[in-house]
């Protein structure tokens, strides 16, 4: 037992700053040999950043503090550096090449070859071995493309095993998995523990944490809040939640007078099929009602189809064979293209601001006016002065922290970029705004400002649809919450009825 209490990894007083944001502030993390250590915290608390520091994505020298690994000071210069020492990280976004086979992916960059010639027989044999270890029954030659997310996850773990992993880091491994796939994955992690693999598991699902973790570290706003040990402490979900949230819930969300007006938007019998796999239905019979001055939430797990639903409504930007109607103020409107949807009074603020929301190399001004150029031009000629006035007014109103609106948005912090995206859509003068993860990846201060803005919008009689993976945020902000299972609504709760438990049980019992 002596051996198992000795720490394999100790991260001491890790501090990491980005321009404008202190992502980590003297974080400590200690992981014993052979244990499963859960790292929990809200989105944006700094878990992923901490893991990037550990794995060398942010190389030694770009952060303060010390990492002790296997009894010695470790200064990883790159990801491959940490992999050589047996630290393997499996990201939320899987890093597999879709059009290559399982075998090719497993040994990518690490091919079994003699004199540069790949030894296929040996490769396939070892692939079969590894697949057996993770309990995946697929032929080594199967293309990754043909596997579901759950199986891809297993391939990632098999890949980690092929590298003689000692410390396995799993970032939200079950976020996109179905219940049974999740159970299988957790069983596998427990089995790996028996074989001496130490794991760090980052998860939002506290029941899973409780099931597998030997100890738990809670991070909030870039600092370590507490560490619990299953042997000495009683780990309860309540306790974890209290540490995660920290503050009094009431103060995290600005108050708002709730008064819903007449129905603004109604989506009826909405059905969407997958754009590539014609036989896969992504959205089934969805119905949404949004009233003036109302903030409506859509809760659900990753992969439930929330973004797909929003984008398919907004100019059919996702999916095909879309059926159903959209009504605005009681009249059916055409939303078949983005410009028609904007004209009908809709706006969609994407969850992926960098690749779908902004033109990073353009100025703040040019990004803001893009949705409604005719408003700052006559006969197609842009009046630059009017354009600057408009963007300046948004800079002030939204408190975008920048020396001038002529700065490129790529230079702004995440929170300020998000404010530019919101400005851009406010300038289109919509009646209903669909906000997809509006506070993802931005710091607490900017979050609060965005909540305030949402409240102002609803006070102005706009309808707001808020898609979020952060349940506390939905509970704190929304008048009504639709709960989405896989591709369809499994329930609708009013603000009074809603709680994390009720939402979760609706999803789980789908």
Partner 1 sequence: MDLADQTKTSGQPSIGHYLLGHLREFGLLFALIAIMIFFQIVTDGTLLRAVNLTNLFLQNSYIIIMALGMLIVIVAGHIDLSVGSVMGFIGALAAVMIVEWELAVLPAILLCLVAGALIGAWQGYWVAYWKIPSFIVTLAGMLVFRGMSLWLLEGQSVGPFPKSFQLLSTGFIPDIFGIDRPNGTALAAGVIAAMLIIWLGLRARARNKRYGIEGEPLPFFVARTGIVVCAVLFIFYKLAEFRGMPNVLITMAVLTVIYAFVTENTTLGRRVYALGGNEKAAKLSGIKTERLTFLAFVNMGLLAALAGLIFAARLNTATPKAGFGFELDVIAAVFIGGASMSGGVGKIVGAVVGAFIMGVLNNGMSIMGIGIDYQQVIKGLVLLAAVFFDVYNKSKG
Contact residues toward partner 1 (CB under 8 A) are 19-20, 314-315, 317, 337-339, 341-342, 348, 350, 355-362, 366, 370-371, 373-374, 377, 380-382, 384-385, 388, 392, 401-404, 406-407, 411, 424, 428
Nearest CB to partner 1, comparing residues 263 and 382: 382
Minimum Å distance from CB 399 to partner 1? 14
The closest alpha carbon to 471, from 490, 498, 431, belongs to 498
Nearest CB to partner 1, comparing residues 230 and 382: 382
> In this structure, what are the phi and psi dihedrals at residue 44, rounded to the nearest 5 degrees?
85, 5
Minimum Å distance from CB 340 to partner 1? 9
The closest alpha carbon to 458, from 292, 254, 290, 329, belongs to 292
Minimum Å distance from CB 410 to partner 1? 11
Residue appearing with tokens 């009689």? 461
Nearest CB to partner 1, comparing residues 71 and 374: 374
460: exposed, middle or buried (C-beta count within 10 Å: 0-12, 13-18, 19+)?
Answer: exposed
Minimum Å distance from CB 116 to partner 1? 31
Residue 12 CA to residue 180 CA, distance in Å, equals 37
> In this structure, what are the phi and psi dihedrals at residue 62, rounded to the nearest 5 degrees?
-90, -5
Torsion of CA 338, 367, 352, 168, to 10 degrees: 160
What is the number of alpha carbons within 13 Å of residue 39 lying toward its C-beta?
28
Minimum Å distance from CB 199 to partner 1? 36
Minimum Å distance from CB 334 to partner 1? 14
Residue 289 CA to residue 281 CA, distance in Å, equals 22
Two structure tokens written together for 316: 């059919």
Residue appearing with tokens 């699902």? 205
Minimum Å distance from CB 310 to partner 1? 11
Residue 303 CA to residue 87 CA, distance in Å, equals 28
Nearest CB to partner 1, comparing residues 158 and 421: 421
45: exposed, middle or buried (C-beta count within 10 Å: 0-12, 13-18, 19+)?
Answer: buried
Minimum Å distance from CB 316 to partner 1? 11
Q: Which residues pair with 363 in a beta bridge?
A: 408
Nearest CB to partner 1, comparing residues 226 and 407: 407
> In this structure, what are the phi and psi dihedrals at residue 356, rounded to the nearest 5 degrees?
-120, -15
Nearest CB to partner 1, comparing residues 311 and 481: 311
Minimum Å distance from CB 315 to partner 1? 8
What DSSP string describes 369-409? Answer: HGGGGGGGEETTEE-HHHHHHHHHHHHHHHT---S-TTSBG
Minimum Å distance from CB 386 to partner 1? 12
Helix axes 414-427, 444-459, angle to 10 degrees: 20
Minimum Å distance from CB 422 to partner 1? 13
Residue 329 CA to residue 232 CA, distance in Å, equals 59
Minimum Å distance from CB 309 to partner 1? 15
Nearest CB to partner 1, comparing residues 224 and 312: 312
Q: What separation in angstroms does the CA of 344 have from each of 306, 307, 419?
A: 21, 20, 23
Q: Are 175 and 301 in contact (CB under 8 A)?
A: yes
Rg (CA), the chain: 24
The closest alpha carbon to 192, from 86, 277, 116, 283, belongs to 86
What is the number of alpha carbons within 13 Å of residue 314 lying toward its C-beta?
21
Nearest CB to partner 1, comparing residues 293 and 414: 414
Nearest CB to partner 1, comparing residues 385 and 509: 385
Nearest CB to partner 1, comparing residues 159 and 424: 424
Which pairing describes strands 377-378 and 381-382: parallel, antiparallel, or unpaired?
A: antiparallel
Minimum Å distance from CB 345 to partner 1? 13
Residue appearing with tokens 């201060």? 445
């Amino acid at each position: 037992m002596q051996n198992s209490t000795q720490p394999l990894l100790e991260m001491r007083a890790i501090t990491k700053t980005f321009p404008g944001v202190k992502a980590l502030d003297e974080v400590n993390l200690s992981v014993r040999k052979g244990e499963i250590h859960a790292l929990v915290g809200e989105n944006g608390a700094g878990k992923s950043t901490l893991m990037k520091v550990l794995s060398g994505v942010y190389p030694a020298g770009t952060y303060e503090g010390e990492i002790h690994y296997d009894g010695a000071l470790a200064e990883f210069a790159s990801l491959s550096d940490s992999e050589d020492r047996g630290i393997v990280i499996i990201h939320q976004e899987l890093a597999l090449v879709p059009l290559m086979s399982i075998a090719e992916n497993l040994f990518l960059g690490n091919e079994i070859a003699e004199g540069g010639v790949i030894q296929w027989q040996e490769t396939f044999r070892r692939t079969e071995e590894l697949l057996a270890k993770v309990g995946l029954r697929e032929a080594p030659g199967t293309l990754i493309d043909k596997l579901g997310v759950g199986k891809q996850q297993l391939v990632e773990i098999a890949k980690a095993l092929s590298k003689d992993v000692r410390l396995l880091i799993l970032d939200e491994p079950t976020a996109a998995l179905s219940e049974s796939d999740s159970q299988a994955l957790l069983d596998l992690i427990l089995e790996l523990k028996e074989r001496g693999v130490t794991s760090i598991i980052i998860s939002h699902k506290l029941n899973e944490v409780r099931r597998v973790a030997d100890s738990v570290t809670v991070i909030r706003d870039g600092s370590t809040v507490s560490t619990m040990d299953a042997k000495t402490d009683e780990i309860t979900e309540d306790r974890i939640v209290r540490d995660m949230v920290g503050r009094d819930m009431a103060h995290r969300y600005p108050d708002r007078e709730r008064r819903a007006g007449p129905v603004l938007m109604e989506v009826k019998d909405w059905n969407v099929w997958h754009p590539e796999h014609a036989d896969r239905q992504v959205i089934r019979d969805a119905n949404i009602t949004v009233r003036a001055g109302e903030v409506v939430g859509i809760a659900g797990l990753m992969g439930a189809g929330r973004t797909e639903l929003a984008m398919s409504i907004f100019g059919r930007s996702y999916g095909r064979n879309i059926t159903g109607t959209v009504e605005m103020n009681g009249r059916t409107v055409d939303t078949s293209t983005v410009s028609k949807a904007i004209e009908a009074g809709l706006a969609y603020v994407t969850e992926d601001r960098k690749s779908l929301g902004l033109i990073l190399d353009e100025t703040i001004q040019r990004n803001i006016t893009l949705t409604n150029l005719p408003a700052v031009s006559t006969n197609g000629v842009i009046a630059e002065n009017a354009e600057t006035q408009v963007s300046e007014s948004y800079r002030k109103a939204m408190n975008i922290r920048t020396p001038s609106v002529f700065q490129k948005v790529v230079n702004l912090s995440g929170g300020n970029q998000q404010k530019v995206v919101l400005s851009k859509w406010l300038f289109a003068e919509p009646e209903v705004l669909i906000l997809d993860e509006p506070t993802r990846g931005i710091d607490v201060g900017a979050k609060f400002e965005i909540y305030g803005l949402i409240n102002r919008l609803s006070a102005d009689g706009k309808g707001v649809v808020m898609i979020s993976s952060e349940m506390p945020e939905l509970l704190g902000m929304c008048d009504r919450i639709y709960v989405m299972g896989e591709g369809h609504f499994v329930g609708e709760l009013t603000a009074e009825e809603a709680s994390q438990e009720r939402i979760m049980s609706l999803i789980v019992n789908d």
